[in-house]
Structure 1
Amino acid sequence: MIYKTVQSSLITFSQLMLPSHSNFSGKIHGGFILSLLDQIAFACASKYSGKYCVTASVDRVDFLSPVEVGELLTLKASVNYVGKTSIVVGIRVDSQNIQTGEIKHCNSSYFTMICKEEDGQKAEAPKLILKDLDEVRRFYKAIHRIEQHRNTSQQLSDSIDYKSEELINYLLEKYNVKIEIDF
């Protein structure tokens, strides 16, 4: 069995934000940032595993503050968790105003990547060596997010009667929707 450190996965990527990256309001387009996130997640997981990796899921992407044209965007990625064939990559995004030096935290995201063999089959990922309490914390939080997602998915699929009068009334009252379904 092969073990590797979190340190062996670290990737930092910086790019100057250009007018061609902006949306109609003059801020950097979220889709452009998502593309950069996916690229660094791939690079981090592939560097760590020594395998081709594909994106299986993105846990969450919250845009905390807008990124301006002319700012330097820096993405930092590391492996937070490793399963049998999956790798959770944590990514932090900061933007820096090059003239003032001010740095803003823009985003934190978690990408689940799957290791692949050359024939496209899933490949086993190297196991993880945790060397400090931050790495233990990130590993534990990743386990918690995975378990929470499994539990939520299971509860939603098993326990809800979408035709119940109670659910319909709840949606009508709380969310101000119209439901036009003939049962």
Structure 2
Amino acid sequence: MRLPIVLFSSAVLASCAPDGAPTPTPVSDNANRPESTGAAAPPAASPASSPAAAPATALVTSLAGEWRVAGIDGADFNEPVGLALSGNADELWWEPRCARFIRSYRISGTGIQFGPPAGAGPPPPPGTPPEPVCTIGLLPRLPHVMRALDAATTVVRTEQNGVLISGGGHSLLLFSQ
């Protein structure tokens, strides 16, 4: 009488398994299990420590592209009007370029150095009127962005795939657009 119940139970359990699902096999050799040898079980890998969830380790080698300012000096950039920067292999700027918010840059490893735009030349002699620039309303936080760039000494990729430029007590968080 016991045999039909066992067979029936096995048939019911087998019908519950999804098609193609591997059937579990009992472990017959406990000699390799930590609890049978008295050794401590290895800690379970947390999502943050697993290779798939590890932060990007790629170095930032260029600021070429279009960037959205997401943070200034550690605070989120939550303004009514967004602030975007454009870059190429040598410079980072705010449009329109005629507003002269342009910085050249050089990246070496995680170090970065910003300076005046390439070909800017020396400043005009005292008393000489500056070269005409376009007339455009400037965003209020734009000087803060330039201050952060001027003070910057490091550039790193964040876990969220942003670019954090920092140094001299200032920082700028950018995300590619």
Coarse TM-score class (shorter-chain normalised): under 0.3
Question: What is the TM-score normalised by the length of structure 1?
Answer: 0.20
Which one has a larger percent strand, Structure 1 or Structure 2? 1
Rg larger in 1 or in 2? 2
| TM-score with structure 2 setting the length | 0.20
